[in-house]
Structure 1
Amino acid sequence: MTEDKINNDNEVEEKEIDLLDLASRLWDQRRKLIKWSICGAVIGLVVAFSIPREYVTSVTLAPESNGAKLPGGGLGALASMAGINTGAEAGMDAVYPMLYPDVVSSVPFITSLFDVEITTKEDGKKMTVQQFMEDETSAPWWSVILGLPGKLIGLLKSVDEADENHKLDSFQLTQDESLLVDALNQRISAAVDAKTSVVSIDVKMQDPLVSAVLADTVVSRLKEYITAYRTNKAREDLEYAEKLNKEAKDNYYKMQQKYADYLDRNQGIAFHSAQTVKERLANEATLAFNLYNQTAQHVQSAQAKVQETTPVYAIITPPTVPIKPASPKKLLILIGFTFLGFAACAAWILSVSPFLTQYKEKQLAKTAEIRQDGNSTARD
């Protein structure tokens, strides 16, 4: 036991000595550490001021609950509270909140935003989202350098001339349209809280007003899409009920007019055959009226069904024009590059520099041995 304690004490002392030695070597090279840290800070400043400012608009909305009972009764409710999706909502509704991010990132949804009219805050220019992304969105200078090989390869390939009458088709996009869809997908994001089903939508743009307008448009388009899906069956039923009601109305007016014309032509006639026809026409008009009345009630019921199935969304955080840019974080970039400069210098002092010194000493020793061997051979 005593020997183990002595060994442990010796190891601790050796570690302390090693740490002190490392700290002493770094302190001796403090001027170099300061120079490398300053160089890292300068590079950090260049990087921070080269990245364009980005503004983020965040919107949160809560869709109404459909009130569906989860399987398992109380167990289903507990699973819902724990954030576990049991699939009940998915079975009732094919487009439930968990799929909203997929809807927002889909090609048809993104391409529908191309022609949205926006106005920039800085200079008040009016343009579409597609024009803003192509003409007004900038990138860091190094992205231009990194993209040169791709541009050179593109120049070498045969490029088809753009069709002046080309129309946007989400089923078959051009290369530029596909790149624009990818760029917008990187700037428009949607997320859903599994427990509360609260939907969060973030839009990042290089102009604060464009960011807010586009976020509001995305929310509106999403609500329109979900509303159209939810009410699709009810609206089809309403159209069919209105069609039947129109046919019943036309038939009722026709039978009513036919009955009135018969009365005008046979006024004052007391034949039993005339009375029979009169009663028959009256009954047909009554039946037509009853059918018209029933179809009118069906129309009212279908209208109520459309209103019932129309979803309601509570906007928790409405879109507002951001004041401060969300990125770049210049202070964090400065601190990060300064630390990288310090760490790189410390690694050089503690690892690379001793290795190079030992390598040079070995080379000098080999050179001295070769010279000694040459001198001894010459003497012999």
Structure 2
Amino acid sequence: MNENKNYQHPDVQDPENDELEIDWMEILRKIIAIRKTLYKAAGVGVVLGIIIALSIPKQYTVTVTLSPEMGGDKAGGGLASLASSFLGGGANSSPDALNATLAPDIVASTPFILELFNTKVQTLDGKLDTTLVAYLDEQQSPWFSYIVKAPSMAIGAIKSLFSEEADTVSALNPFQLTEKEASKVEAIKQSIIAEVDKKTAKTTISVTLQDPKVTAIVADSVVAKLQQYIIDYRIKKAKEDCAYLEQLYKERQQEYYEAQSKYAHYFDSNRNIAFQSVRAEQERLQNDMNLAYQVYSQVAQQLQVARAKIQEEKPVFAVVEPATVPLLPSSTSKKVIVLGFIILTVCATGVWTLIGKDYINNLCQSIQGKN
């Protein structure tokens, strides 16, 4: 009689087919058994959530989008091609050191931020009309931030007892900033974010502050200063060439007027004299005058071209999304914060009650058994 070698006793299980089974009903029964504890945890979460939510001030974000106006096919020529090479279009082929990828670095640079210090801002309620650097002192901070800053504030207070501060306000020195100025520069850097999308050739600037009107004003100022920075860079060489030609034009003009005056004076003085030497001198003076006029005319033409090039070199920007006063805050909603704390406290309490206690007890027992 042949035995079935593939037969397996029903009490013996294949370890490969053994799967981890979760008894959901048992877990549900345990959760129901600790429901009162979970209710208390939810109440604690509500209280903590309300405290944290009321402590965090509202913040508003204004986003401005810039785009280059595409021009013709002139390489490095028209207005649009220059703007395109800066803001992303053709940035790889542009020989300029300043291109689209540097826009975020420009906005985050210390000299650029220092230029924003004296920007005039006004709050939405009209109660505050001051500069941006003064407005930073008026912004609110959550109470727990003072706990974090307490050690540095204490150290600063101790230092102030042993150092004398000047009563007069000195001008900003980008080379050597004070500790207070450096902290405000860093605060503004964190409030302003510039990003460049190389695919769409768009530059996006976002400003986040606590007052909606101040945020819109600062965003508009950042865009204006960034545009002016790019324009100044682009036309710097053209303006230097134009200034040189202006000086050269005045010099050649003066030389031509002097040569013309000498010729006219000599011609009037020797009009009725028929000597050959007089005619030779007259011809020489006339040639000098004509030569001076030719040089003067060429410089004048070059000056007109240089003046036109300044306007041509200016990059052209299209503001796709301008700065507007936001109506709704961009910070996390207070309801979401409260709900998050409720979920966090309930989950933490449930995990600790169902798993954490037993794990700690078993760990302690194993340690005691080894000892």
Fold similarity call, TM over 0.5: yes
Shift of 1:129: 0.7
Please tell me whether residue 284 in structure 1 is matched to residue 280 in structure 2.
Answer: no
Please tell me whether residue 33 in structure 1 is matched to residue 33 in structure 2.
Answer: no
Provide closer, same or farther for how the CA distance between residues 68 and 245 of structure 1 changes in structure 2, counting only shifts above 3 A: closer
Give the AA of the match of 1:145. Answer: I
Shift of 1:315: 0.8
Shift of 1:85: 9.5
Instruction: Please identify, of 29-38 and 257-266, the stretch whose mean Cα deviation from structure 2 is larger.
Output: 257-266
Q: Provide the C-alpha distance between the structure 2 equivalents of 1:166 and 1:220, rounded to a whole number of angstroms.
A: 27
Provide closer, same or farther for how the CA distance between residues 333 and 165 of structure 1 changes in structure 2, counting only shifts above 3 A: closer
1:85-104 equivalences in 2 (<5 Å) = 87-89=92-94, 92-104=95-107
Q: Provide the C-alpha distance between the structure 1 equivalents of 2:272 and 2:284, rounded to a whole number of angstroms.
A: 18
Given that 1:137 and 1:206 are in contact with CA atoms closer than 8 Å, whether structure 2 keeps it comes out as yes
Given that 1:191 and 1:201 are in contact with CA atoms closer than 8 Å, whether structure 2 keeps it comes out as yes
Provide closer, same or farther for how the CA distance between residues 106 and 7 of structure 1 changes in structure 2, counting only shifts above 3 A: same
Residue 171 of structure 1 corresponds to: 175
Residue 207 of structure 1 corresponds to: 211
Residue 22 of structure 2 corresponds to: 16
Q: Provide the C-alpha distance between the structure 2 equivalents of 1:88 and 1:10, rounded to a whole number of angstroms.
A: 62
- SS of the residue 2:58 aligns to: coil
Shift of 1:220: 0.9
1:252-267 equivalences in 2 (<5 Å) = 252-267=256-271
Instruction: Extract unaligned runs of 5+ from structure 1.
Output: 70-82, 367-380
Given that 2:46 and 2:338 are in contact with CA atoms closer than 8 Å, whether structure 1 keeps it comes out as yes
- TM-score scaled by length of structure 2: 0.85
1:111-190 equivalences in 2 (<5 Å) = 111-134=114-137, 136-157=138-159, 158-162=162-166, 164-190=168-194
Deviations 1:68-88 (A, max 9, x none): 88xxxxxxxxxxxxx999943
Residue 202 of structure 2 corresponds to: 198
Match of 1:338 among 342, 349, 367: 342
Q: Provide the C-alpha distance between the structure 1 equivalents of 2:112 and 2:9, rounded to a whole number of angstroms.
A: 75
Residue 77 of structure 1 corresponds to: none
Shift of 1:160: 4.3
Shift of 1:304: 2.3
Instruction: Extract unaligned runs of 5+ from structure 2.
Output: 1-5, 76-87
Given that 2:91 and 2:100 are in contact with CA atoms closer than 8 Å, whether structure 1 keeps it comes out as no
Residue 248 of structure 1 corresponds to: 252
- SS of the residue 1:223 aligns to: helix
Given that 2:245 and 2:299 are in contact with CA atoms closer than 8 Å, whether structure 1 keeps it comes out as yes
Provide closer, same or farther for how the CA distance between residues 24 and 313 of structure 1 changes in structure 2, counting only shifts above 3 A: same
Q: Provide the C-alpha distance between the structure 2 equivalents of 1:87 and 1:174, rounded to a whole number of angstroms.
A: 39
Q: Provide the C-alpha distance between the structure 2 equivalents of 1:86 and 1:253, rounded to a whole number of angstroms.
A: 48
Deviations 1:224-255 (A, max 9, x none): 11111112111111111111111111111111
Q: Provide the C-alpha distance between the structure 1 equivalents of 2:351 and 2:296, rounded to a whole number of angstroms.
A: 90
Shift of 1:9: 11
Instruction: Please identify, of 236-245 and 350-359, the stretch whose mean Cα deviation from structure 2 is larger.
Output: 350-359
Provide closer, same or farther for how the CA distance between residues 320 and 233 of structure 1 changes in structure 2, counting only shifts above 3 A: same
Q: Provide the C-alpha distance between the structure 1 equivalents of 2:107 and 2:356, rounded to a whole number of angstroms.
A: 51
Shift of 1:65: 5.9
Residue 78 of structure 2 corresponds to: none
- SS of the residue 1:112 aligns to: helix
Shift of 1:42: 2.2
1:327-366 equivalences in 2 (<5 Å) = 327-354=331-358
Give the AA of the match of 1:22. Answer: I
Deviations 1:309-332 (A, max 9, x none): 211111111111111111132232
Residue 3 of structure 2 corresponds to: none
Residue 61 of structure 1 corresponds to: 66
For these two proteins, the number of residue pairs brought into alignment is: 347
Provide closer, same or farther for how the CA distance between residues 155 and 140 of structure 1 changes in structure 2, counting only shifts above 3 A: same
- SS of the residue 1:100 aligns to: helix
Provide closer, same or farther for how the CA distance between residues 292 and 124 of structure 1 changes in structure 2, counting only shifts above 3 A: farther
Provide closer, same or farther for how the CA distance between residues 289 and 267 of structure 1 changes in structure 2, counting only shifts above 3 A: same
Q: Provide the C-alpha distance between the structure 1 equivalents of 2:238 and 2:208, rounded to a whole number of angstroms.
A: 37
Given that 2:42 and 2:345 are in contact with CA atoms closer than 8 Å, whether structure 1 keeps it comes out as yes
- SS of the residue 1:16 aligns to: coil
Q: Name whichever structure is richer in helix by fraction.
A: 1
Q: CA RMSD in A?
A: 3.0
- SS of the residue 2:21 aligns to: helix
Instruction: Please identify, of 151-160 and 286-295, the stretch whose mean Cα deviation from structure 2 is larger.
Output: 151-160
Given that 1:26 and 1:349 are in contact with CA atoms closer than 8 Å, whether structure 2 keeps it comes out as no
Q: Provide the C-alpha distance between the structure 2 equivalents of 1:228 and 1:24, rounded to a whole number of angstroms.
A: 73
Match of 2:233 among 225, 229, 233: 229
Deviations 1:40-95 (A, max 9, x none): 122112211211111111001013569688xxxxxxxxxxxxx9999433xx1111
Q: Provide the C-alpha distance between the structure 1 equivalents of 2:293 and 2:266, rounded to a whole number of angstroms.
A: 18
Q: Provide the C-alpha distance between the structure 2 equivalents of 1:68 and 1:41, rounded to a whole number of angstroms.
A: 64
- SS of the residue 2:163 aligns to: coil
